[in-house]
Structure 1
Amino acid sequence: MFGIRWPLLPTAWGALAIAYKLICPLARQDGLVARIATSAVFFAVGTGLVLHVRQALLRELNQARRVAGAAQSVLLRPLPPRVDGLDVAAARLSADRGATVGGDLYEVIATEHGVRVVMGDVRGHGLPALGTVAALLGCFRETVHDEPDLGLLLRRLERALDRHLRERHSDTPVAEEFVTVLLAEIRANGETYAVNCGHPWPYLLRGTGVEPLCRADPLPPLGLFPLPGELPPTPCGRLLQGDSLIFFTDGAEDARDTRGRFFSLPEALTMAAHDHPVSPQQILRTILAAILRHTAGRPTDDIALLVLENARLSPHPGARGTVRTTPTHPQPTTHP
């Protein structure tokens, strides 16, 4: 129906201008008053046409944003509040309030190998980034149950990205596109493993203490260089009851205030921990509010946050994985 109405108003404006020129006696006079009146009529007609075209383009843009937003909502489907004993909360913050499409991706799925998490950030924005998100999330959801090892799962993601880029750039060389990806596996006994391709390590919130889950150097982002032949998962210690993992994209720590100072995510997490015990939803609200205060409500990059809290009563004695004799993190804080 919009396509039918589109030419009607411009045609009416044009007909009005022609009718004025042909019928109105004032339009055929050469005096100053007549010229001013004629100019005013044609200025009004031109202004009306410009405003009509602008409104039509805005309607089309809003429609495209709604469609793109709906597509991303399908891809980044709402996460369940609990996955195999882990409380879950996730949120996205767009740098452009009018934009609904970004390159952030995350998913949490319970498998026979443990709860597996993917967190990633595609270079760029818009529909091309959304296509890459779809390719990677589709591959992750399809293979997460089949691959017994995180390294093999990462290699499957690399192949999916390579196929996607070759199909998208079939007529031209593949542009420099890459994705930072972090895969994590939390087993039933709390043992946590990860493989990281250029993504920030998540933070571990234990009691009121905050520290990176791991300090190992990550691999390069997917798409820049081929993965090495061996991809052993990195042991990251045990996630104890009441511990939380905070996954994030680099937009969180790259956010700056008006004086150019970076946002301190560990300080925001420490502030959130003062209300201990704190839920994942409370952690998200505290971090997002702190980022908006720090950036005066204008973050310069999209931000995705994912919080997992171990709400299991005790480790499963027969769970996959072994307990380390030397703990990587401080001893647990006793909670009532």
Structure 2
Amino acid sequence: MFRFRAARAGARFVSGAMIFAVGTGLMLHLGHVLFRELRQVRRSAGTAQGALLRPLPARIDGLATAAAQLSADRGAAVGGDLYDVIATEHGVRVVIGDVRGHGIGAVGTVAAVLGCFREAVHDEVELAGVLRRLDSALARHLRRQATTGPDADTTVIEDFVTVLLLEIRRDGELRALNCGHPWPYLLGEGRAQPLTGADPLPPLGLFPLPSELPLVDCGRLRPGEALFLHTDGVTDARDDHGGFFPLPTALAEAVRDRPSSPQSVLRAVFTQLLRHTRGRPADDVAMLVLCNDRRPSHAPVGARGTARPATTNRQPTTNL
């Protein structure tokens, strides 16, 4: 009897060991498969980001550039922020925007807006025409999502995008259209100040655009001056005590008492932001710095931040 029980106990032990070994092998195999799939997803996300937020050249038609983007989703290479800078016959045209939401779910909207912008900036003579094209493209995308997308049963049509459009002529003349986006900061001579205090329009997707768009004349971007553009993920970033990120202070520190390249300004602000949030921003973050490296112009400088109708006809600006 004792030998029988011992043999039965030994058999159970051997069976248990075999089950444990097989289970461990299956778990290791499953973990390997999941890791491989996760790596493939991240690689695909990186490819998508490269196609959407293309790396900017160091210089674009006399403007030195630097840009950085960080998704709030851990491990994601894409988010809901967008930007691009394109040289056209109408001047250098810039877009920066912020899609409602973040991470992979916002990528489709980012693609729709950026794809339209990259065509419209070459086709449209006036900046107002570019904005209307973006509004139409966004509306088509949201209608399609509302009827055929994975969230077809939800009110996708309520999604929106903040958009800032800038146009920088060869003589530095600077004009803007703003739909609910933070205004840039003007950097120069050791100072950082808001470019303008003009009231923006509502974000795209919430209301129809007005018949006349308030094009804002921001004066001229002088040689040596720079613009710091950002999404609200920068100013809304909080520390452990709930304090907002002090962007004006960070910019002032970045340009104080020393020549500052776009890369050095971007690096300084980005480092302070990560320190402020302990490396865990709650929202997507995008920053863009544009510095005028063109030859000085003796043309008179206009007032900054004056809104006027976009339908006003303007003579082409003389190139330097």
TM-score, with structure 2 as normaliser = 0.86
Superposition RMSD in Å: 2.3
Given candidates 46, 52, 57, the residue that maps to 2:23 is 46
Structure 1 residue aligned with 2:204: 222
Kindly report which structure 2 residues correspond to 1:238-257, keeping only aligned pairs within 5 A, or say none.
238-257=220-239
Letter in 2 for 1:68: A
Does the alignment pair 1:301 with 2:280? no
Does the alignment pair 1:260 with 2:242? yes
Q: Does structure 2 conserve the Cα–Cα contact (< 8 Å) formed by 1:188 and 1:316?
A: no
Task: Count matched residues.
Answer: 298
> Any idea what SS the aligned residue of 1:308 has?
strand
Structure 2 residue aligned with 1:310: 292
Which deviations, in whole Å up to 9, do the C-alpha atoms of 1:79-135 show, x marking residues without a partner?
Answer: 111112111111112334411121111111122222110001112234442221111
Structure 2 residue aligned with 1:207: 189
What is the deviation of 1:29?
5.4
Higher mean C-alpha deviation, range 43-52 or range 267-276 = 43-52
Q: Does structure 1 conserve the Cα–Cα contact (< 8 Å) formed by 2:196 and 2:304?
A: no
Higher Cα Rg, which structure: 1
Does the alignment pair 1:179 with 2:156? no
TM-score, with structure 1 as normaliser = 0.82
Q: Does structure 2 conserve the Cα–Cα contact (< 8 Å) formed by 1:207 and 1:276?
A: no
Q: 1:76 to 1:316 in 2, by over 3 A?
A: farther
Structure 2 residue aligned with 1:131: 108
Does the alignment pair 1:157 with 2:139? no
Does the alignment pair 1:117 with 2:99? no
Letter in 1 for 2:38: L
CA distance in 2, matches of 1:143, 1:38: 69
CA distance in 2, matches of 1:180, 1:290: 25
Q: Does structure 2 conserve the Cα–Cα contact (< 8 Å) formed by 1:241 and 1:311?
A: yes
> Any idea what SS the aligned residue of 2:79 has?
coil
Structure 2 residue aligned with 1:105: 82
> Any idea what SS the aligned residue of 1:255 has?
coil
- Aligned residues: percent identity? 61
CA distance in 2, matches of 1:70, 1:106: 17
What is the deviation of 1:30?
3.5
Higher mean C-alpha deviation, range 172-181 or range 273-282 = 172-181
Structure 2 residue aligned with 1:79: 56
Q: 1:120 to 1:95 in 2, by over 3 A?
A: same
> Any idea what SS the aligned residue of 1:157 has?
helix
Given candidates 217, 236, 239, the residue that maps to 2:218 is 236
What is the deviation of 1:309?
0.7
Does the alignment pair 1:66 with 2:43? yes
What is the deviation of 1:43?
2.6
Structure 2 residue aligned with 1:195: 177
> Any idea what SS the aligned residue of 1:135 has?
helix
CA distance in 2, matches of 1:300, 1:34: 55
Structure 1 residue aligned with 2:254: 272
CA distance in 2, matches of 1:38, 1:137: 60
Q: 1:96 to 1:128 in 2, by over 3 A?
A: closer
Q: Does structure 1 conserve the Cα–Cα contact (< 8 Å) formed by 2:198 and 2:305?
A: no
> Any idea what SS the aligned residue of 2:192 has?
strand
Letter in 2 for 1:100: A
What is the deviation of 1:279?
0.4
Q: Does structure 2 conserve the Cα–Cα contact (< 8 Å) formed by 1:188 and 1:315?
A: no
Structure 2 residue aligned with 1:12: none
CA distance in 2, matches of 1:268, 1:187: 29
Given candidates 50, 63, 88, the residue that maps to 2:65 is 88
Structure 2: where are the runs of 5+ without partners?
Answer: 307-320
Higher mean C-alpha deviation, range 54-63 or range 135-144 = 54-63
Structure 2 residue aligned with 1:23: none
> Any idea what SS the aligned residue of 1:161 has?
helix
> Any idea what SS the aligned residue of 2:147 has?
coil
Given candidates 241, 256, 269, the residue that maps to 1:287 is 269
> Any idea what SS the aligned residue of 1:37 has?
helix
Structure 1 residue aligned with 2:318: none
Which deviations, in whole Å up to 9, do the C-alpha atoms of 1:195-221 show, x marking residues without a partner?
Answer: 111111111112122111111221111
Structure 1: where are the runs of 5+ without partners?
Answer: 1-25, 330-336
Q: Does structure 1 conserve the Cα–Cα contact (< 8 Å) formed by 2:102 and 2:283?
A: no
CA distance in 1, matches of 2:22, 2:213: 67
Kindly report which structure 2 residues correspond to 1:316-335, keeping only aligned pairs within 5 A, or say none.
323-324=301-302, 326=303
> Any idea what SS the aligned residue of 2:296 has?
coil
